[in-house]
Amino acid sequence: MRNALEAKITRRTKNRIKIEITKESFEAFCDAIGLYRKEFLDALDASERDHRAGRVTKRGSLDELID
């Protein structure tokens, strides 16, 4: 059974929420969303190689990837 991911809201505005979490909670969050999966890490490595080789595309927002 997974532990609950605990976070403390330290500041809230109309468009933003600032939270604080422990290192353990952050690691559990990363694990829960798959940031430690081999496929994701391989994709990051490929992305770094492309960036170093100059194969980059400027984007204004992530929305452009969806369209």
Query: 2-31 in b/e burial notation, b at 16+ Cβ within 10 A?
Result: eeeeeeeeeeeeeeeeeeeeeeebeebeee
Question: Which pLDDT band holds residue 53 (cuts at 50, 70, 90)?
Answer: very high
Task: Flag whether pLDDT at 27 surpasses 70.
Answer: yes
Average pLDDT, the chain: 87
Number of H helices and E strands in the chain, helices first, is: 3, 2
The model's pTM is: 0.53
